[in-house]
Amino acid sequence: MKLNKIIFLIILSMSFFEKIKSQDNISIVFKINNEIITNRDIQNEEYYLSALNEQFQNLAKEKKYQIAKASILKEEIKKNEILKYYILNQKDPLLEKVIQNFTTKLKFKDRAEFEAHLSRYNLSIDAIIKKIEVETVWNQLVYKKYQGLIKIDKEKLSKRIKKQTDTKKSFLLSEIVFKKNNNEKLNDTTKKIYNSISEIGFQNTANIYSISDSSKFGGQIGWVNSQNLSNEILKEIKKINLNENTIPIIITNGYIILKLEDMKEEKVKINLQNELDKAITYETDKQLNTFSKIYFDTIKINTNLDEL
């Protein structure tokens, strides 16, 4: 009798939850190890990507869904790896600094203005902080794992800085970093990307095709000192005008297409040590980005992913 009662209660509770699930229209899209991702999670990711890049909203509904799905999948894979070594939801002074930089990157004057912007997309600052924490801790993990492989030629950088005049030239750049499909010619891949740029713009194309973390921001890199660019990249940038794109340039982990958003020249007093520190930071970050992609591709292969 007791067993029948227990079975009845289980069936009743299952029916109750199924009813709620149906009412809320929530469905499980995929499982990553022991975590589940629902259509609601993907919808929230769409809001997040729209908040970072307002042009994202102009994409077709299915395209937005696919990009958001890939984005949250990438975040969950990173988070699963992070949890092997770190505890999340910690109050870290570095995290607060990253949030301030994040706000500045999106061109908000302060955190309050940023929070007001998020509210228009049904997002809370706490939800964004969790996402920023995953990226911050992931970068720390990559640095800890690969710091011994970073190669910086300080003498070469120093010589380059000493050649600088009192005029500093900088470029405002956006990027699309991509890999050629094994079964596709480079020209065919490039043609798809350029056609997409013509149809929906560079930012939305970066959301779709770029494998760089900058894709969330529509490929925006920011201002880059010309002295920090390789000769090959600098040569290609000099060939184009404002709002034009370079040809695909070979880089360590694939190819890169750059868009020249703006450029400026400033009269500066060269401080060798300060400029050297900046150049070392830039070169370190560039190498870490490459290692980050290698590390992510490795753990993705070994991740237990079930799409439902």
Q: What are the mean pLDDT values of the chain's consecutive 10-residue runs (308 residues total)?
A: 46 43 71 87 93 89 93 93 89 81 86 91 91 92 95 90 80 94 86 94 94 91 90 94 96 92 87 88 92 93 82
Buried b vs exposed e over 143-157: b needs ≥16 C-beta within 10 Å? eeebeeeeeeeeeeb
| Cα–Cα separations (whole angstroms), residue 28 to 16, 35, 195 | 17, 10, 34
DSSP E strand boundaries for the chain? 28-32, 35-38, 167-178, 220-225, 249-251, 254-267, 305-307
pTM of the model: 0.81
For the beta carbon of residue 287, count every other beta carbon within 10 angstroms.
17
Position 5 scores a pLDDT of: 46
Half-sphere exposure of 184 toward its Cβ, with a 13 Å CA cutoff?
11
Domains of the chain and any CATH numbers: 2-148 (1.10.4030), 165-269 (3.10.50.40)
Task: Tell me the CA distances in angstroms from 52 to 96, 168, 227, one per residue in order.
Answer: 18, 30, 29
| Tokens at 38, concatenated | 């629902």
Q: Find, among 50, 49, 51, 37, the residue nearest to 79 by Cα.
A: 37
**Order of strands across the sheet that contains 35-38:** 35-38, 28-32, 305-307
Q: Is 119 helix (H, G, I), strand (E, B) or coil?
A: helix
- Please give the single-letter amino acid code of residue 30: F
| 252 alpha-carbon distance from chain centroid | 18
Euclidean distance between CA atoms 78 and 301, whole angstroms? 12
Tokens describing residue 126: 């706490």
* Cβ count near 212 (within 10 Å): 20
Partners of 174 in the β-ladder: 220, 259
Which tokens belong to 295? 């590390």
Question: Which residues, other chains included, contact 183 with Cβ-Cβ below 8 Å and sequence gap of 6+?
Answer: none
